[in-house]
Chains A and B, each alone.
Chain A
Amino acid sequence: MPIFIIILTLLLATVCSFYLGKNIRRLEKIVIFSAIIELITAGYVFFSFITWGQINFEPLFSLNAIGVLFFCLIALIGSTASLYSIGYLRVEMAKGIITVSQIRIFYILTHLFLLAMFVAISANNPVLAWIAIEATTLSTAFLICFYKKPTAIEAAWKYLIVNSVGLLLGFLGTMLFVALALKGVGTNAWLSWQMILDNAKNMDPNIAKLAFIFVLLGYGTKMGLVPMHTWLPDAHSKAPVPVSSLLSGVLLSVAFFLILKFKAVVDIAVGQNFSQSLLIFFGILSIIVSALIILRQKNYKRLLAYSSIEHMGIAALGFGFGGFGQFAALLHIFYHGLAKTILFLSAGNIFLKYGSTKIKNVSGALQALPVTGRLFIVGFLAIVGLPPFGIFFTEFYVFSAGIKAHPVLVCIAIFALILVFAGFLKQISAMILGKKSADIPVGEANAWTYVPIIILVIIFVGLSLFLPDQLKTLINLAVAQ
């Protein structure tokens, strides 16, 4: 039922935004309404699951522990980014950068984007999940080229082509798994994830391996794993900031969610070693490449985009190492989603103030934006994994899980993280602590641009210092499944 409430709310929000037209206040009210419903529904899903277990609306939808975790993450980040976009778009419209029609399109596509992600997480069938993931590409392509600049169009084109090829490979892998499972079930059946899992032990191991490779390449492209990451920095840097935060904070994780679903199947079919080796390979590669690029990055939105690749690499590494690393990796994804949204939304305020995403054009952000500057620093400290923030602990646990079996890889990863810290410190300190130019006025744009970030910071810091038992139980269940 809660899944249908979300789907219905976002569909209604899309249709209303389309028909109610150019009345900005009405469009904003729809955004606020849908954000509130998302949060309430996510809360209901979380506590219902903790109390009663599996949430089903079969045959179409079903949520297990890992699904509930990602459902809550999408709701939390989705609603925060949506609320932030109200203030952000108001400023851009006041500056004459965008028109009312563009704002309407923005809200319509954002509602559809969120809808597609919720469906992908809740879908009880891998092909339905694939259709939803493909829908995320279609809904975000126009959001990436929202400003219609040549660079934005180029980034969106790259995004469309690379992701479409990637997702078609993912589709091929999905269909191979479906073919293997259908052999045990009989043709023309509605295949639930559970049915695929139940048939996994009878699958041909060679085809299962081949299928997982295609799935990993396909959804790995969407997740931004190196070397399939090429679209990510361009798309993240050209999209409007609320969209960048959604792409980075949740979309990458949603793609990883699907990889994990198939990992569970292939692990039964051929044993854990196969998928773990692949995840370790792509994970370490992603960490190393992103660390080297972060060191010499000149654009702060691209810097954050490469940081997302690095963190997806750490999450992949956690699942590659197995054991307690999986618990840490899931928690890492959750923390990363929150921290990266804080950083992207703060970066949005910096962009509104300075009108540039180049690091050399931004200095004295702490003076110019007293609230945002502080929030940005918190985000920076969190994302580089300094204590007492949650990412420090999850990275620590991921590496502890792998130190015995893969000491060299862990050392390389830690060295790469030191490089990331150095790179971030060099770039961020120049932006935040430098002296502000006299022509930059002091002050925040409006409350919508910082209150949602403050709420996220409170949640993030709270969850870093104290992890509720319910959340621990949920993640433990997710790992067990």
Chain B
Amino acid sequence: MSVLVESEAESKEPVWEIAPPSGWFGLNLWEIWESRELLYFFVWRDLKVRYKQTAIGVAWVFLQPVLAMTVFTLFFGRLAKMPSEGLPYPVFYYTALLPWMYFSAALANSTNTVVEHQRVITKVYFPRMILPFSAVLSGLVDFAIGFLLLIGLMLYYHLVPTVATLLVPLFLFLAVATALAFGLWLSALNAIYRDVRYVIPFLVQFWLFASPVAYPSTLVPERWRWLYGLNPMAGVIEGFRWALTGHGQAPSGLLLVSTATVLLLLFGGVVYFQKMEGTIADMV
């Protein structure tokens, strides 16, 4: 056998070292990149199943934010007379509800995803992190549909997008990162402690009022605003509203605090999830 052939074969073949779970760290993000096709298939399957099963499938995606917007406009706007940064109430609420609904759905989906796929997890190997990733990504389709409605709404109220609109993807990215950060933590925790998912509805409810959805963040006293920013969704929602309409709070210290929080949580989530990965099949 020639040496050349051997080294050639060597370089192409993957080698797996199987060893007990060790230490803290062994970030293997490359593996996820390698499995991106499977990630795509998970998202694709999730969407297919979701829209096949419901009779009013896509209509539901429109209905949800519109109903929420109506309720918010009616109660918080017309009755409670919340300040709305000079925006018509429907726009004020819809621009916040859009990222918020994406986030709350992604949070719930990703928390359940590991337990939901337990049959697959115990029978075949793939980087488990694909599961929370796909749960977070598939929600983006609903978001995109909801966004179409937003365009309609803005046309109706003759709101002209500003240059800041170009920053929308940035805030969307931050929303995805937030959902992913919490999704990683919660899906792994939910695999170990099955009652975690019962906590989620409370968490979401509480979180909604801790975020500037029903009110502008300017209601929070200036000196507490940095603390408020520890809730990453505060930065995301304020950013959305501002970037889309030009009204409201321009990104500030609050956004910086939010971004830093997300990055920290995301990093921690990835480490924690990978630490769990080796034994997750024994737990679910």
Specify whether A and B are partners: no
